[in-house]
Amino acid sequence: NAGVTQTPKFQVLKTGQSMTLQCAQDMNHNSMYWYRQDPGMGLRLIYYSASEGTTDKGEVPNGYNVSRLNKREFSLRLESAAPSQTSVYFCASSRDSSSYEQYFGPGTRLTVT
Amino acid sequence: TQLLEQSPQFLSIQEGENLTVYCNSSSVFSSLQWYRQEPGEGPVLLVTVVTGGEVKKLKRLTFQFGDARKDSSLHITAAQPGDTGLYLCENGGSQGNLIFGKGTKLSVKP
């Protein structure tokens, strides 16, 4: 039982490059989330998926797209990376939209030069 | 937009000391979650409080939810180096409105 897994763990991109961050959970959770964490800013919600087949914007969605591939997987795509997107990205899941308890993955540290 | 203020921002203490960290909101919480995050890892849920005045204990950690549900505290008794980490509070609002505080960074020296 791995919980929430994320790949890759580290990534360096050049400005304008694209990439997809992968997230998977094995807890049979319905809801999944993507956050970014920046020094002095705390965790900020980028996108979330309340259930399979739905996605919605969070606090800071600009520059990102997401795909809820199936119940287990939720990916985050940067189409044209910018230095402002340098951050640590966390994926999380919860049982459903009424559950307050989130389970986080280990994070992806992304640097955009 | 709800704002969560955590204090202090940093705390460095010796092993065995007691400490309290705080989380205050500009509006009423639906519920409040406390997480601990160790360097290089994701946050790990410690507790959820829902009812005003609620007190929950987790070994040496005591969590209190204010009567008006606008503030919460986390008290650690006899801190140990293993308690070192970033302590985060989070509101339990609607899914599109999940807000985290900026955290209290705790360092417990042996």
- Please give the pLDDT value at position A90: 98
Decide if pLDDT at A1 tops 70. no
- Residue A84 is given by DSSP the state G
Can you tell me the distance from the alpha carbon of A34 to that of A102, in angstroms, rounded to the nearest whole number?
Answer: 11
A110 against A41, higher pLDDT: A110
pLDDT digits (tens, 9 = 90+) for A16-61: 999 999 999 999 999 999 999 998 888 999 999 999 999 999 999 9
Find chain A residues with C-beta within 8 A of B31's C-beta.
Answer: 100
**Residues contacting residue A109 through CB under 8 Å, at least 6 positions apart:** A9, A10, A11, A88
CB A102 to CB B100 under 8 A?
Answer: no
The single residue listed with the structure tokens 């951050």 is: A87
Report the gap between the CA of B12 and the closest CA in chain A (Å): 18
Tell me how far apart the alpha carbons of residues A90 and A85 are, in angstroms, rounded to a whole number. 13
Residue A64 at interface with chain B, using a CB cutoff of 8 Å? no
Rounded to whole angstroms, the Cα distance separating B90 from A100 reads 9
pLDDT of residue A2: 79
Among A68, A99, A100, which would you mutate to test the B interface (most chain B Cβ atoms within 10 Å of its Cβ)? A100
Phi, psi (degrees; rounded to nearest 5) at A58:
-105, -145
d(CA A17, CA A80): 5
Contact state of A104 with B102 under an 8 Å Cβ cutoff: no
B7 touches chain A (CB under 8 A): no
- Work out the minimum CA distance from A15 to partner chain B, whole angstroms: 25
Taking residue B63's Cβ as centre, other Cβ atoms within 10 Å add up to 22
Which pLDDT value is given to residue B16? 97
Q: Which residues contact B26 (CB under 8 A, 6 or more apart)?
A: B2, B3, B70
Provide the residue type at A55 as one letter. T
A92 touches B at CB < 8 Å: yes
Determine, for residues B42 and A107 on separate chains, whether the beta-carbon distance falls below 8 Å: yes
pLDDT of residue B3: 82
Q: Does A105 touch chain B (CB under 8 A)?
A: yes
